[in-house]
Amino acid sequence: MGKRPRIKNEVIGEIVQQDPMEFRKNRSSDNAKQIFTNAESIEFDVWFDKHYFHREMHGDNDGKRDGIDQEAVQSLIISAAKHLLYYSIKVRAFEFVSFAEGFRKTRTTITQIIDNELNLNIVVNYHYVALNKYEVTLVTAMRKNGFEPKDGEFQLELQVDGSSILYKSERGKIQTVSDYNADEF
């Protein structure tokens, strides 16, 4: 039995490493030097309201609500976090976090577009706890296409491709506020 052939790595062309001392273009300047990178973590404590548990287990006048299981809802809350933070920075009028208990509860509807099925819609409240900690309370969930938030509330619609659209309900009309295209960034 002979030796097995070895895989050889070939380098084609020239390998160029960036000089860490070099000044180069970034998004704010044509001539800047990166000094360091710092990553912060944000904690979301997820709570489910009794209303949600009642709807999941027993349903309502329309019957039991299928497709609103805890795993699907939790996954949607996690997927939406980055998008909510993005829009809160980009859109001046968008706020999704309440600061004081009982004070102006800001509700946000999060919708996940599901191909050839009813969309998953959840209504959540986000509350500030500390600079890097937020409490997320799921109020209710339902599978329904065309779900509309209450007047003055926002709706985040997550697409299958990682993109999203932010809507606002104003005077009974749903208006597009902004969008995030996953392919652009």
Please say if the pLDDT value at position 83 is more than 80: yes
Whether residue 88 lies inside any domain: the answer is yes
The answer to the question of residue 26 being in a domain is no
Find out whether 44 and 80 touch, Cβ atoms under 8 Å. no
Q: How many domains does the chain have?
A: 1
Position 137 in a domain = yes
User: Structural domain of residue 51, as residue ranges?
Assistant: 43-180
Asked if pLDDT for residue 169 goes beyond 90, the answer is: yes
Least confident of 51-65, 87-101, 136-150: 51-65
Number of Cβ within a 10 Å radius of residue 94: 19
Residue 30 inside a domain? The answer is no
Output the DSSP codes for 140-177. EEEE-TT--PPTT-EEEEE-TTS-EEEEEEETTEEEEE
Residue 10 within any structural domain of the chain: no
Query: From CA 111, how far away is CA 32, in angstroms rounded?
Result: 40
In the predicted model, is pLDDT for residue 136 greater than 80?
Answer: yes
Residue 109 lies in a domain: yes
Residue 32 forms part of a structural domain: no
Q: What is the pTM of this model?
A: 0.80
